[in-house]
Structure 1
Amino acid sequence: MNIRSHIGNAGIVAALVAAAPAVAQQADGYWRGNLDLNGTSLTIGVALERAADGALVGTLDSPDQKAFDIPLSEVVADADTLSFSVPAIGAAYSGTWDAEAEAWQGVFRQAGMQFPLTLSAGQPPERTAEVEQPSLPDDWEMPGDDAIRTAITDRLAGRPGAEMIVGTVEAANARTISSDEASVNARTLFEIGSMTKVFTGLLLADMVLYGTVSLDDPVESYLPDGATMPRRDGRQITLRNLSQQDSGLPRLPDNLSPSDVTDPYADYTEADLLGFLAAYELPREIGSQYGYSNLGVGLLGYVLARAAKSDFETLLQTRILDPLGMEDTAITLTPDQQGRFIGGFDEYMRPTSAWNLAVLAGAGGLRSTARDMDIFLKAALDPESPIAPAMKLTLGETRQWPGFKAGLGWMITMAPAGEVIGHGGGTGGFRSYMGLQPATGRGVVALTNSAAEPSAQDIALHVLIGAPIAEAKAVPEAPTGVDRTEVELSQQQLDRVTGTYRFNPDLALVVTRKGDQLMAAITGQGALPIFPRSETEFFWRAVNAEIVFAEDNGIVTGATFTQDGASSPLVKE
Structure 2
Amino acid sequence: MNTRTSILPLAAGIALAVSCSVHASDDATLSALVDQRLANDRTGACMAVAVLDKGAVSRAFRCAKAGDAARIGADSAFEIGSVSKTMTSTLLAELIVQGKGSLDDPLSTWLPEGTVVPEFEGQPILLRHVVTHTSGLPALPSRMGTPNPGNPYAALTPDDLLASLGDATLSRAPGTQFEYSNFASMVLSLAVARRAGVDFETLLQQRLFEPLGMKGAHVGLARRPEGVRAAGGHTANGLPTPAWTFAGDLAGVGGVRATLDDMVRYVQANLDPSATPLAEAIELAQTPLSEQPPMAMNWMLLPVAGRTVLVHEGGTGGFSSFVSVDREARRGVVILSDTSWSAVGNLGSLGLHLVDASFPLGSPRTVEAPPQALLDGLVGEYQLQGAMKISLRQRDGTLFAQAEGQPEFALGYDSEGDFFPGVVDALLKPQRKADGSHVFTWMQGGGALPATRLDGPGAAAPRPALDPAALAGYAGEYTLMPGFALTVRARDGGLFAQATGQGEFALDAAGQDRFEAAAYGIEITFKRGADGEVVSLDLHQGGGVLSGPRKQRSRRAPLSKVPADARCSGRIATMGA
TM bin, normalised by shorter chain, reads 0.5 to 0.7
Post-superposition CA distance 1:46-98 (Å, at most 9, x none): xxxxxxxxxxxxxx114xxxx52689xxxxxxxxxxxxxxxxxxxxxxxxxxx
Aligned pair 1:145/2:88, yes or no? no
Say if 1:348 and 1:476, in contact at 8 Å, map to a contact too: no
State the alpha-carbon separation in 2 of the partners of residues 281 and 160 from structure 1: 40
Match of 1:134 in 2: 16
Say if 2:51 and 2:332, in contact at 8 Å, map to a contact too: yes
- Shift, 1:331, TM fit: 0.8
For residues 495-510 of structure 1, the aligned pairs below 5 Å read 508=386
Indicate which of 469, 476, 483 corresponds to 2:361. Answer: 469
For residues 400-419 of structure 1, the aligned pairs below 5 Å read 400-402=291-293, 405-416=294-305, 418-419=307-308
Say if 1:193 and 1:427, in contact at 8 Å, map to a contact too: yes
- Shift, 1:414, TM fit: 1.1
Say if 1:176 and 1:371, in contact at 8 Å, map to a contact too: no
Indicate which of 40, 48, 53 corresponds to 1:165. Answer: 48
SS across alignment from 2:220: coil
Question: Residues 2 and 246 from structure 1, CA distance in 2 versus in 1: closer, same or farther, beyond 3 angstroms?
Answer: closer
State the alpha-carbon separation in 2 of the partners of residues 567 and 289 from structure 1: 24
Match of 2:265 in 1: 375
Match of 2:514 in 1: none
Say if 1:430 and 1:451, in contact at 8 Å, map to a contact too: yes
SS across alignment from 2:307: coil
Say if 1:454 and 1:472, in contact at 8 Å, map to a contact too: no
- Shift, 1:391, TM fit: 1.5
- Shift, 1:455, TM fit: 4.7
- Shift, 1:446, TM fit: 0.6
TM-score w.r.t. length of structure 1 = 0.60
Say if 1:246 and 1:287, in contact at 8 Å, map to a contact too: yes
SS across alignment from 2:217: coil
State the alpha-carbon separation in 2 of the partners of residues 394 and 199 from structure 1: 9
Indicate which of 281, 286, 305 corresponds to 1:390. Answer: 281
Deviates more, 1:258-267 or 1:202-211: 258-267
Indicate which of 45, 67, 92 corresponds to 1:204. Answer: 92
Match of 2:237 in 1: 348
For residues 430-449 of structure 1, the aligned pairs below 5 Å read 430-449=319-338
Match of 2:8 in 1: 61
Match of 1:54 in 2: none
Indicate which of 60, 79, 103 corresponds to 1:177. Answer: 60
Question: Residues 311 and 503 from structure 1, CA distance in 2 versus in 1: closer, same or farther, beyond 3 angstroms?
Answer: farther
- Shift, 1:384, TM fit: 2.9
Post-superposition CA distance 1:505-562 (Å, at most 9, x none): xx6469xxxxxxxxxxxxxxxxxxxxxxxxx9699xxx979xxxxxxxxxxxxxxxx9
For residues 518-529 of structure 1, the aligned pairs below 5 Å read none
- Shift, 1:283, TM fit: 1.4
Post-superposition CA distance 1:440-478 (Å, at most 9, x none): 11111011111243553322221221121123223699x
Unaligned runs of 5+ in 1: 7-43, 45-59, 72-132, 478-501, 511-535, 546-561
State the alpha-carbon separation in 2 of the partners of residues 283 and 348 from structure 1: 38
CA RMSD of aligned residues (A): 3.5
Match of 1:279 in 2: 167
Say if 1:166 and 1:460, in contact at 8 Å, map to a contact too: no
State the alpha-carbon separation in 2 of the partners of residues 460 and 396 from structure 1: 22
Say if 2:216 and 2:225, in contact at 8 Å, map to a contact too: no
Question: Residues 247 and 351 from structure 1, CA distance in 2 versus in 1: closer, same or farther, beyond 3 angstroms?
Answer: same
Match of 1:457 in 2: 348
- Shift, 1:570, TM fit: 12
Which structure is richer in relative contact order (CA contacts within 8 A, separation 6 or more)? Answer: 2
Say if 2:162 and 2:187, in contact at 8 Å, map to a contact too: no
State the alpha-carbon separation in 1 of the partners of residues 444 and 333 from structure 2: 35
- Shift, 1:196, TM fit: 0.4
SS across alignment from 1:176: strand
TM-score w.r.t. length of structure 2 = 0.60
Question: Residues 476 and 274 from structure 1, CA distance in 2 versus in 1: closer, same or farther, beyond 3 angstroms?
Answer: farther
SS across alignment from 2:198: coil
Post-superposition CA distance 1:410-430 (Å, at most 9, x none): 111111152111111000111
- Shift, 1:392, TM fit: 1.1
Say if 2:215 and 2:262, in contact at 8 Å, map to a contact too: yes
Letter in 2 for 1:377: V
Aligned residues: 382
SS across alignment from 2:353: helix
SS across alignment from 1:422: strand
Unaligned runs of 5+ in 2: 370-381, 389-403, 408-422, 426-441, 455-577
Deviates more, 1:466-475 or 1:194-203: 466-475
Say if 1:295 and 1:360, in contact at 8 Å, map to a contact too: no
Match of 1:527 in 2: none
Question: Residues 336 and 444 from structure 1, CA distance in 2 versus in 1: closer, same or farther, beyond 3 angstroms?
Answer: same
State the alpha-carbon separation in 1 of the partners of residues 444 and 270 from structure 2: 42
SS across alignment from 2:115: coil
State the alpha-carbon separation in 2 of the partners of residues 445 and 417 from structure 1: 22
Post-superposition CA distance 1:95-138 (Å, at most 9, x none): xxxxxxxxxxxxxxxxxxxxxxxxxxxxxxxxxxxxxx534434
Question: Residues 391 and 336 from structure 1, CA distance in 2 versus in 1: closer, same or farther, beyond 3 angstroms?
Answer: closer
SS across alignment from 2:267: helix
State the alpha-carbon separation in 1 of the partners of residues 339 and 202 from structure 2: 29
For residues 196-345 of structure 1, the aligned pairs below 5 Å read 196-333=84-221, 334=223, 336=225, 340-345=229-234
Indicate which of 253, 257, 269 corresponds to 1:363. Answer: 253
Indicate which of 80, 99, 108 corresponds to 1:192. Answer: 80
Post-superposition CA distance 1:285-333 (Å, at most 9, x none): 1111111111111110111111122111111211111111111111123
For residues 15-94 of structure 1, the aligned pairs below 5 Å read 60-62=7-9, 67-68=10-11
Letter in 2 for 1:150: A
State the alpha-carbon separation in 1 of the partners of residues 16 and 182 from structure 2: 31
Question: Residues 230 and 475 from structure 1, CA distance in 2 versus in 1: closer, same or farther, beyond 3 angstroms?
Answer: farther
Match of 1:487 in 2: none
